[in-house]
Structure 1
């Protein structure tokens, strides 16, 4: 927020302007002395939920514990929101969850990785590997890295944010940083599978949106999640916008906010399954 690079800021502003309380989480490991568990769904979902619990339990917020809750996010935040939606029935059944709004979701990390290796968004793939390794030390990322990989990823752990990941790592390849590809191993494939959305569909209405020409988080894997949820009976509205990943949140923000307003006022949720 302080750097002005929080892409969710317009959505936050809209909710605040409508009189809603907003809780924002940094996820697990985002501190000067720890390594972020970036893009690890099994970590992000509980972090989102715990931020709501914390907000409801702080006396100064004066929030009712039975107040209606909506999880919202875009890109990594979209993944966090949807993971929170999938985990809420078992992890936080006490929350009065009425909906999930998620855009630009990296639902299937294996499929997302295929579209980043050697392309403009490679930095996000590299940092996702760092995040998964932080969440699961058994993955032993360092054992796959060459000298360049060790140096570059050590720097990324300390200094990388969205701008740095785009500027410093564009069009790089996994082979530039490794002696062998960790994503091809059974250990990494198993952890990636554990962090694939769709196994426990949310029990509340969902608004899922995506850029039609998303060059960072490819659209087909998100559409697959949409079909999975529809097949499971989720009341979901799916919408694409003619935009790229960076502008997708702006393209969908007005519709997302109106969807939130309608859920809080009790209007029946639309669906286009």
Structure 2
């Protein structure tokens, strides 16, 4: 295993070894390029999309935030029937927050598991798109299901893994085409915006046509700690804290998050190393925001988090935003501001849909048909209708 693959061979082997025991095979001709397909294995039956001809668990090469090669896992699905001219169009799915531990990888989901509620909800939506003739590529992101801690909300890492799984999927099934869109929710909504920002910079073989950001997170990320101290009763926010801090340290190891924490805060962070968001909510339910931090210098941490805020995104492909009006995790006002910012850039058409009476997860079902209709106008062979733009004029 030559070159850079030798340096990550152990990582690939750890995951591939387990996969091969379940009937996987290694891809032939593995090279050193991002997007190289490494292994293919059957998925847990719960992850099979009913309208897909085939769904597989894969590993592939990507790049982290510093340009180093990494092994990433994910699932890929292809529709039934005969592919259209040019191949199946692709939706690369960027999932919402699950945690930073390996158990939180969507591809590791199982009935009753820590991420099953969210994965089942998302899978129903993805299956509806497969039924319409879209291939699905669903990355786990860096560090979820593969060695290392997931660098949560790192825009470059997430965008790389979202893009590279499309390249890998085309090696898995040669009927998959080059035209694709990214659709993301929550954390993945931010990933979609960062992906739309770097479109065309890394490969000329793929054509990113559009991005869809559903309840995109990451606005005001650097103010998380101040918010938690000021709102100690917000247990939902406290549950996200270990995910944010561990993710930041994974991307920037020089950040000494332990020095910022009380013993209670350290216990919360240690729980985040092994538990997923669903379990962290239970841990956080007995904590107060004022109990977590010591009077430490958080300048470096805040500086890093500011670089990952979605206010830094500059999409270069059309964008659709979808937002539930009763979302308590990603407030409507935040998405309104990001839409306004993107409109002011006047770079691309922006389509914004708001859904009354819809919460954070409810937007997946509420926007499902609108997202499909939006993408049909752009991704279907021979249908490149200009996307609707409802920015204020």
> Above 0.5 in TM-score?
yes
1:226 deviation in Å?
Answer: 0.8
Question: Is the contact made by 2:182 and 2:210 (CA closer than 8 Å) also made in structure 1?
Answer: yes
Residue by residue over 1:89-139, the C-alpha shift from the partner in whole angstroms, topping out at 9 and shown as x without a partner, is: 323454211100110101422366666653142212331122112111122
For residues 113 and 40 of structure 1, what CA distance do their matches in structure 2 show?
A: 18
Matched, 1:61 2:173: yes
1:76 is the counterpart of 2:187: yes
Is the 1:106–1:112 Cα contact (8 Å) retained in structure 2?
no
Does 1:45 pair with 2:163? no
CA contact (8 A) 1:112 1:221 kept: no
| Partner secondary structure for residue 49 of structure 1 | helix
Measured in 2, the distance between the counterparts of 1:72 and 1:63 equals 21
Q: Tell me the CA shift for residue 257 of structure 1.
A: 1.7
Structure 2 residue ranges without an equivalent (≥5)? 1-105, 111-115
- Which of the residues 125, 128, 131 maps onto 1:14? 128
The 2-side partners of 1:207 and 1:241 are apart by 13
Aligned-partner Cα distance in 2 for 1:160–1:92: 33
2:268 and 2:283 in contact (8 A); partners too: no
The question of whether the paired residues in 2 share the 8 Å contact of 1:111 and 1:221 is answered with no
Distance (Å, rounded) in 2 between the aligned partners of 1:24 and 1:250: 18
Given that 2:200 and 2:208 are in contact with CA atoms closer than 8 Å, whether structure 1 keeps it comes out as: no
Higher strand share: 2
Q: Which has the larger radius of gyration?
A: 2
State the alpha-carbon separation in 1 of the partners of residues 249 and 371 from structure 2.
33
Where in structure 1 are there 5+ consecutive unaligned residues? none
TM-score normalised to the size of structure 1? 0.88
CA distance in 2, matches of 1:83, 1:254: 24
Cα 1:64–1:19 change in 2 (3 A) is closer
Does residue 187 of the first structure (1) align with residue 300 of the second (2)? yes
Flag the structure with more relative contact order, 1 or 2, with Cα contacts below 8 A and sequence separation at least 6. Answer: 1
Task: Return the alpha-carbon distance in structure 2 between the equivalents of residues 198 and 257 of structure 1.
Answer: 26
> How many residues in Structure 1 have an aligned counterpart in Structure 2?
267
- TM-score, normalization by structure 2: 0.63
RMSD: 2.3
Shift in CA distance, 107/155, structure 1 to aligned 2, threshold 3 Å: closer
Whether 1:164 and 2:275 are equivalent positions in the alignment is no
More helix by share: 1
- Contact 1:98 1:205 survives alignment (8 Å): yes
